[in-house]
Structure 1
Amino acid sequence: MARKYSIAHLTWLPWTPAEMIYNTHLLDYDYVSLRTISQGLPGEVNHDISNGSELFKLTEQALKDTGMRINDIELAKIDENTTEIKKYEPHLEAAAKLGVKNVITNIWTPDKAFYTEKFGELCDLAAKYGMSVNLEFVTWAEVKDLKSARELLAAVKRENALILLDTLHFYRSRVTPAELKDTPKELFKTVHICDAGREIPTDKESLVHTGRAERLYVGEGAIDIAGIVKNLNDDVVLCVEMPHVKRVARIGAVEHARRTLETAKEYFKAHGIE
């Protein structure tokens, strides 16, 4: 079977969901992965499609026009301010109306008892809308590696709890091939793919900078992306997440999105993954 590709909104966040759908449909992507839950970051555009907004209607029409699908939405993060998981319900409800089956979360508080409880609540809320919760471990977050992600899933014991593997965080949190092979493959439905240099920064600022502004095309850096993907099921969605501010300034967002897909397909073909 042919591999399915999605593109993460972070690759070029200023596009509205409808723009993302129309543009990437022309580039031959299979899915889009949208950030419809704003993080309140400096300069971030709010793409909230909940509550029957005009943005929702435009997104719905774009899906009908193109036949594209939304693989997932983000980011239902859990931090010290996430006292009410129900605040995410309008976002999940709107996404479910568009056929979305996955929501992404990260953990940003050291209070293990608190985030375990809230993660379980998020899984229960998502289940109400037929959605899975994909826990992405992030190098500079509290749940920062595969081991701690598996521990959290084991603690909550929810059938709709999954792990979202990001090749950048996989590499920079020093997950070993043995750890990946020991993890049940059914826990992975999506993998964020990008490349990075061999050096692993030790300071948070550098880690964040790469993650949000300077990810490399697949095959351009030092990450054994093929080795990772070969240990996952063939139906895992390959989601390119490659924000690169300087490249977009030089060649434009559409061309950058085209190259992210082209280079990924060329790389995987060369490694016997198609």
Structure 2
Amino acid sequence: METGIRVSDVEIVRLTPGFTLDDRLQRFMETAARLGAGQVLVAGNDDNLQRSADNLAILAAAGRPFGLTMNLEPMPWTQLRNIAAAQALIAASGREDIGILVDALHFWRAGESLAALSSLPAHHLNYMQLCDGAAQRPESEQELIRQARSARNVPGEGGLDLHGLMSALPATLPVSLEVPLDGEQGALPPLQRAQLLFDAAQPYLRACA
């Protein structure tokens, strides 16, 4: 059945010390291309900048024949903690065809400012991830990770400055809703949960249209 829904992005590839362009990763990219995706989420899990940069360059080059663009996602508990670290890694890779993914929760949890977005060239922004969360940053890294992976908030039900963030990003930037939920909302049937998130996102999308 034709629904009009298409796949825009896939995840996740991790730049680890032992990263290799193996058969599994090759099949991952082949499948992503077959599904029509154009963007790949990449996490930085290696504290060696040059090794990470070399592996990122290899990955970006490998994705090109499949029409795939790699996008670094800063996460405050990884070696790639913030936008500045992502920019440094891209510069060290020697490639310009790599994006930086702004995730609303990670952005504010990393202590970023909206001014940090002004230094991002437009060609480094391919999509963003929208969600909400408590205004107060968790004290422990364990809780930081737990909230990010399983207990985010529906847009508008948390304390993050989503209007400010969306206004600082390009108005035509594709938006991905990444909102893992727990409790009653997390137990909703998939279609009902999707409708809840779609409706909740509308005020933030209209604000930057």
| TM-score normalized with structure 1 length | 0.71
Q: TM-score, normalised by structure 2?
A: 0.92
**1:1-274 mapped onto 2 (5 Å cutoff):** 65-84=2-21, 87-269=24-206, 272-274=207-209
Relative distance call for 1:170 and 1:216 in structure 2 (3 A) is: same
Displacement, 1:250? 4.2
> What are the Cα deviations for residues 175-203 of structure 1, in whole angstroms up to 9, with x where unaligned?
11111112222211111000111111132
Name the SS for the 1:215 alignment partner.
coil
Unaligned 5+ residue runs, structure 1? 1-61
Q: Structure 1 residues 86 and 228 mapped into 2: Cα distance closer, same or farther (>3 Å)?
A: farther
How far apart are the structure 2 equivalents of 1:90 and 1:190? 23
Distance 2:84 2:23 in 1: 28
Q: Give the secondary-structure state (helix, strand or coil) at the position aligned to 1:244.
A: coil
3-state SS in 2 of match to 1:239: strand
Q: How many Å apart are 1:110 and its aligned residue?
A: 1.4
Deviation at 1:263, TM superposition (A): 0.7
Instruction: Mark the runs of 5 or more structure 2 residues left unpaired by the alignment.
Output: none
Are the equivalent residues in 1 in contact too, given 2:10–2:40 (CA < 8 A)? yes
SS in 1 for 2:133: coil
In structure 2, the residue matched to 1:36 is none
Kept in 1, the 8 Å contact 2:21–2:59? The answer is no
Matches of 2:24 and 2:142, distance apart in 1: 29
CA drift of 1:252 comes to 2.9
* Aligned pairs, number: 209
Residue 171 of structure 1 deviates from its aligned partner by 0.2
String of CA shifts for 1:184-229, please: whole Å, max 9, x gaps.
2221111100011111113221011111111101122121112112
Instruction: Supply the AA of the counterpart residue of 2:28.
Output: H
What does the per-residue CA deviation read over 1:115-162, in whole Å, with 9 as the maximum and x for residues that have no partner? 111111111111121211011111211101011011111111323200
8 Å Cα contact 1:96/1:129 also seen in 2: yes
Identical residues among aligned pairs (%): 24
Give distance in 2, aligned partners of 1:233 and 1:207: 28
Aligned 8 A contact 1:186 1:233 in 2: no
Q: Give the Cα–Cα distance (whole angstroms) in 2 for the partners of residues 220 and 157 of structure 1.
A: 41
Residue 7 of structure 2: SS of its match in structure 1?
Answer: strand
Contact 1:127 1:160 in 2 (8 A): no
Following superposition, the deviation at residue 86 of structure 1 comes to 5.6
* RMSD (Å) for aligned C-alpha atoms: 1.7
- How big is the shift at 1:248? 4.0
Query: Once superposed, which parts of structure 1, at least 4 consecutive aligned residues long, lie more than 4 Å away?
Result: none
Distance verdict in 2 for CA 1:221–1:106, change over 3 Å: same
Q: Counterpart amino acid of 2:94?
A: K
- Contact 1:73 1:103 (C-alpha < 8 Å) held by counterparts: yes
Is the CA contact (8 Å cut-off) linking 1:247 and 1:256 kept in structure 2? no
- Cα distance, 1:172–1:130 mapped onto 2, change above 3 Å: same
Give the counterpart letter for 1:200 in structure 2. R
Higher relative contact order (CA 8 A, sep 6+): 1
